[in-house]
């Protein structure tokens, strides 16, 4: 049999009086001060005659139950502002405990379930100063979820990621970044089962505000850098020092978190919460209920003269994906022609291979007589460490056709590598890679990126990412009239919809066919530049 007390509401105060010994003298503590004890519900100030004093102290409620095998369980709470609220909370507690009577199959099960519900009530009062929601508790019982589980969002996300053994290294690094930079700082301390849509809305609002501030800081820093250079050129040392001090006090450049990144953060959280649902730790995946702006990939933009002028004045980039015109690509290749890794940049500009695929390219996958390259592996960067993995997706495992200029550069690269091997002698490391250092070891992606940006600055070109050479090859091919399916296969996209969504608005220009069209567009622009390289390669 289960015994439940009706419960009561009452007033109780914290007034203290001295503790007296049997002889009526005050009891002193170790410091020689009188010990005090609380009067509690016997305080004379709590009542005015037969009525409670509304101006002295707060309201409390208390109830309890006893079940077979379970001793008396008391649930109490104080600090309530008024009697109606205390009575309402007492009723809510009795209703919560009553769930056990409606769903349990026998008295013993009902007693155990009441014990769990009581633990949940006490936990929520201690953690949030609120009673648990009736429907939440009812759904949790129906789903056989632990009622008093104290797992936080941080604890769950950390264990979830650690248990996902089948993740690709790059994907794991992205998930870990989302957890470290966004999800745990904003949501980590919240109990997993207490996570609500409003928590996610506040997080994404804060991330969007930080992104807006990052863009404003970028513009301000760019202008100050420009002013610093101008003062230096004007030989105005005093003003230059002021500008330099102002620049040192400004926040560093940081990449803003755009709509697409916020969508990926939500996808990470949604995956983690789906696993929690599968383990019956939560009932609802709140990440699926949050509305965000479209996270579609940004459309590619081209560095037109107007955009270049705007960038030079403000430092603002027109898009996260921005590509060079054929003429700008030609200028870059002209500057890079004497670089030891010119063949690498040449390959990226002409073929639409990803930089990781090019850095990981092996001679065994190159067929120069047939003008073909098989993409069979790639190099990825995890922090500073690198790893050789399979291509990004099944569609990335493809065959890329080479134009004659690219094949000529790879042939020259093979001759140079043989010369390097001869010079290194016993110090040569045979990696089988196409692009290596002077001793045969592979190139670090960070070094390749640094060299790419250095060459662009020396050529006086506006910035693009190394990855945007991949985007540039696609844009030029589409502008030259190459069928979108051919371009999609060349890039290793899983379908033409991705290719069309990103690129089709970039270059409304020439119409030709396949990879020869890419080579022709760049080589014709390069041939107009002074110097022998363009003319020689065009003739070849």
Q: Reduced to 3 states, what is the DSSP secondary structure of residue 521?
A: helix
Same domain, 282 and 332: no
Q: Is residue 296 part of a domain?
A: no
Same domain, 459 and 362: yes
Residue 532 or 162, more confident: 162
Region 310-322 average pLDDT = 83
Q: Compute, in degrees rounded to 10, the torsion defined by CA atoms 468, 474, 477, 479.
A: -80
**Number of Cβ within a 10 Å radius of residue 420:** 16
Same domain, 462 and 377: yes
Question: Is residue 168 pLDDT above 60, yes or no?
Answer: yes
Same domain, 439 and 394: yes
Most confident by average pLDDT, 268-282, 289-303, 381-395: 268-282
Straight-line distance from the first to the last Cα atom of the chain, in angstroms, rounded to the nearest whole number? 98
> Domain holding 468: CATH number?
1.10.443.10
Q: Is residue 294 part of a domain?
A: no
pLDDT at residue 297, rounded to an integer: 67
pLDDT digits (tens, 9 = 90+) for 349-385: 888 788 899 999 999 999 999 999 999 999 988 777 8
Same domain, 128 and 222: no
Region 170-197 average pLDDT = 92
Q: Reduced to 3 states, what is the DSSP secondary structure of residue 316?
A: coil
Region 118-146 average pLDDT = 85
Same domain, 235 and 342: no
Same domain, 416 and 499: yes
> Considering only 100-114, 223-237, 384-398, which range has the smallest mean pLDDT?
384-398
Q: What angle do CA 113, 114, 118 make, to 5 degrees?
A: 120
Given a contact cutoff of 8 angstroms between Cβ atoms, the answer to whether 188 and 152 are in contact is yes
Domain end, chosen from 116, 142, 168, is at 142
Split at pLDDT 50, 70, 90, the class of 515 is low
Same domain, 109 and 174: no
Question: Is residue 166 pLDDT above 80, yes or no?
Answer: yes
Same domain, 306 and 193: no
Domain end, chosen from 87, 113, 142, is at 142
pLDDT digits (tens, 9 = 90+) for 219-248: 888 889 888 988 898 888 899 999 899 999
Q: Is residue 394 part of a domain?
A: yes
> Considering only 156-165, 268-277, 500-509, which range has the smallest mean pLDDT?
500-509
Question: How many domains does the chain contain in total?
Answer: 3
Question: Is residue 505 pLDDT above 80, yes or no?
Answer: no
pTM: 0.62
**CA 272 from centroid of its chain's CA atoms:** 13
Q: 422: which 2 tokens? A: 């001869």
pLDDT digits (tens, 9 = 90+) for 205-219: 999 999 999 888 888
Q: 468: which 2 tokens? A: 């945007």
Q: Is residue 428 part of a domain?
A: yes
Same domain, 135 and 175: no
pLDDT at residue 532, rounded to an integer: 60
E strand or H helix at 458, and its extent? helix 445-458
Same domain, 254 and 309: no
Question: Is residue 301 pLDDT above 60, yes or no?
Answer: yes
Residue 461 to residue 331: CA distance in whole angstroms = 8
pLDDT digits (tens, 9 = 90+) for 76-99: 998 898 899 999 999 999 999 999
Q: What angle do CA 211, 213, 214 make, to 5 degrees?
A: 65
Question: Is residue 509 pLDDT above 60, yes or no?
Answer: no
Domain that holds residue 98: 3-142
Radius of gyration of the chain from its Cα atoms, rounded to whole angstroms: 35
Question: Is residue 391 pLDDT above 90, yes or no?
Answer: no
Same domain, 102 and 240: no
Given a contact cutoff of 8 angstroms between Cβ atoms, the answer to whether 377 and 388 are in contact is yes
> Domain holding 208: CATH number?
1.10.150
């Amino acid at each position: 049999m289960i015994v439940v007390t009706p419960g009561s509401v009452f007033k109780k105060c914290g007034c203290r009086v001295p503790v007296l010994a049997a002889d009526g003298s005050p009891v002193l503590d170790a410091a020689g001060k009188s010990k005090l004890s609380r009067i509690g519900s016997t305080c004379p100030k709590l009542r005015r005659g037969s009525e409670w004093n509304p101006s002295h102290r707060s309201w409390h409620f208390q109830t309890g139950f006893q079940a077979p095998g379970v001793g008396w369980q008391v649930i109490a709470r104080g600090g309530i502002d008024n009697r109606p609220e205390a009575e309402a909370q007492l009723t809510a507690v009795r209703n919560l405990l009553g769930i056990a009577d409606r769903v349990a199959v026998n008295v013993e099960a009902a007693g155990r379930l009441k014990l769990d519900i009581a633990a949940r009530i006490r936990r929520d009062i201690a953690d949030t100063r609120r009673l648990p929601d009736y429907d939440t508790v009812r759904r949790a019982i129906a789903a056989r979820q632990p009622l008093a589980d104290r797992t936080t969002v941080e604890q769950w996300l950390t264990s979830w990621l650690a248990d996902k053994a089948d993740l690709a290294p790059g994907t794991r690094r992205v998930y870990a970044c989302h957890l470290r930079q966004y999800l745990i700082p904003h949501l980590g301390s919240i109990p997993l089962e207490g996570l609500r849509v409003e928590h996610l809305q506040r997080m994404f609002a804060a991330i969007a505000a930080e992104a807006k501030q990052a863009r404003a800081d970028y513009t301000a820093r760019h202008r100050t850098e420009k002013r610093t250079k101008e003062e230096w050129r004007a030989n105005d040392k005093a003003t230059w020092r002021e500008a330099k001090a102002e620049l040192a006090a400004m926040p560093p450049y940081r990449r803003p978190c755009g709509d697409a990144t916020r969508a990926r953060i939500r996808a990470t959280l949604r995956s983690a919460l789906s696993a929690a649902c599968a383990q019956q730790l939560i009932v609802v995946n709140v990440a699926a209920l949050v509305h965000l702006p479209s996270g579609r990939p940004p459309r590619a933009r081209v560095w037109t003269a107007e955009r270049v002028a705007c960038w030079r004045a403000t430092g603002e980039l027109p898009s996260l994906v921005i590509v060079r015109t054929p003429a700008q690509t030609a200028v870059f290749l002209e500057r890079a022609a004497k670089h030891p890794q010119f063949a690498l940049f040449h390959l990226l500009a002409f073929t639409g291979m990803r930089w990781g695929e090019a850095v990981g390219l092996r001679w065994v996958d190159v067929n120069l007589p047939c003008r073909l390259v098989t993409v069979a592996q790639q190099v990825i960067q995890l922090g500073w460490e690198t790893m050789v993995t399979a291509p990004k997706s099944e569609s990335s495992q493809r065959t890329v056709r080479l134009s004659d200029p690219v094949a000529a550069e790879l042939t020259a690269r093979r001759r140079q590598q043989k010369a390097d091997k001869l010079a290194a002698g016993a110090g040569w490391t045979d990696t089988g890679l196409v692009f290596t250092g002077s001793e045969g070891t592979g190139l670090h992606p960070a070094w390749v990126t640094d060299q790419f940006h250095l060459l662009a600055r020396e050529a006086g070109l506006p910035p693009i990412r190394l990855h945007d050479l991949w985007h540039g090859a696609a844009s030029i091919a589409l502008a030259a009239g190459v069928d979108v399916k051919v371009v999609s296969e060349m890039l290793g996209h899983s379908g033409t919809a991705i290719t069309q969504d990103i690129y089709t608005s970039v270059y409304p220009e020439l119409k030709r066919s396949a990879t020869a069209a890419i080579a022709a567009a760049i080589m014709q622009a390069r041939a107009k530049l002074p110097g022998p390289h363009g003319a020689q390669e065009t003739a070849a």
